[in-house]
Structure 1
Amino acid sequence: MLKKTVSLLVVSLLMSVTACKDNGSAKITEDDMKTFESEKGIANTESTQSTEVQTADANKTTKPVDGKYPKIQFNKLEHDFGTIKSGDKVETEFMVTNIGDADLIILDAKGSCGCTVPNPPKEPIKPGSSAPIKVSFDSTGKTGQQSKSVTLTTNTEAGTENFTIKANVLPKEGQGASPIMNK
């Protein structure tokens, strides 16, 4: 009986060893690998295209097919409101001219803080044409020399354009240093 048990054990062991020798990679043919590679290539291409579209959407700018870009020329790059009082709301206008070869589109305009609000044109600016960008500055709560920037996101080759406003803001009457009282 011991011989039968040992024989059964040896046969079981041999069967398990030969079963483990079954190479899983032998079941995958070269045709299967080619199909997998081509599907993987398509998936990578789709993924890359999707990423490019997402990037273009995020930037809102793409290289023009014809290679022609608009180009911005400002009538000034800085405006100084001079001396104003805290609480004054002042406004100026920057004239933008498109000296490039394609329509200029201003996609976004942001001031460096909430006190500076640009109002760009909504329509494209044709080559050779000009349009105003109004900028308002609210000096409420501000004193001293102020310098704020405006950043435009555009379809120019650079993608962004900047200009600045500045002012010397005096404290509102009654807000300055209190007078010294004599006893």
Structure 2
Amino acid sequence: MKKVLFTFLISLFALAVNAQDAAGPVITFAENTYEFGDIHQGDVVEHTFKFTNTGDAPLVVTNVTTTCGCTAPKWPKEPIAPGDEGQILVKFNSRGKRGVQNKPITVYSNAKSTTRISITTNVLVDNN
């Protein structure tokens, strides 16, 4: 009987820990990567990444960073309620770029972990 009670208590503790881990805001993107395909050098392209707060507390996006000045993000500054959606607009300027470009974008928020999304494209150079 003691063994059964001990096993039951351990299971109850594990459930409580897992429930605690799931609490809070969770950022869930509809897509993590967007492919622009071929573009011409000098083109400016943009894409909107949509996300949902699938957690149980308000989500606050505190910062969005990129690896170079050719990629510019815009994100919501107001909290996103549980179940609500938000958007991150990413613009890429291909001036001075050539060939395959993969640009990671890091999303910082009050969720338990940072999230990385990315854009890719192939920049064609006109030979005039």
- In the alignment, the residues of structure 2 paired with residue 173 and residue 133 of structure 1 have an alpha-carbon distance, to the nearest angstrom, of 34
Matches within 5 A, 1:6-155: 68-155=23-110
For the residue of structure 2 that corresponds to 1:83, the secondary structure is strand
For the residue of structure 1 that corresponds to 2:55, the secondary structure is coil
- In the alignment, the residues of structure 2 paired with residue 106 and residue 139 of structure 1 have an alpha-carbon distance, to the nearest angstrom, of 27
1:161 and 2:127 equivalent?
Answer: no
The root-mean-square deviation of aligned C-alpha atoms, in Å, is: 1.3
Name the residue aligned to 1:22: none
TM-score where L is the length of structure 1: 0.57
For the residue of structure 2 that corresponds to 1:132, the secondary structure is strand
Q: CA deviation at 1:173?
A: 4.4
Q: CA deviation at 1:113?
A: 1.0
Name the residue aligned to 1:15: none
Unaligned runs of 5+ in 2: 1-19
Larger relative helix fraction: 1
Higher relative contact order (CA 8 A, sep 6+): 2
Q: CA deviation at 1:131?
A: 1.1
Kindly provide the CA deviation profile for residues 71-121 of structure 1, in whole angstroms up to 9, marking residues without a partner as x.
Answer: 011010000000000000000000010000110000000111111111111
Q: Aligned letter for 2:39?
A: I
Name the residue aligned to 2:7: none
Q: Aligned letter for 2:108?
A: T
Q: CA deviation at 1:132?
A: 1.1
Q: Aligned letter for 1:169?
A: V
- In the alignment, the residues of structure 2 paired with residue 172 and residue 150 of structure 1 have an alpha-carbon distance, to the nearest angstrom, of 28
Quick one: percent identity of the two aligned structures? 42
Larger relative strand fraction: 2
Unaligned runs of 5+ in 1: 1-65, 175-183
- Number of aligned residue pairs: 108
- In the alignment, the residues of structure 2 paired with residue 156 and residue 172 of structure 1 have an alpha-carbon distance, to the nearest angstrom, of 44
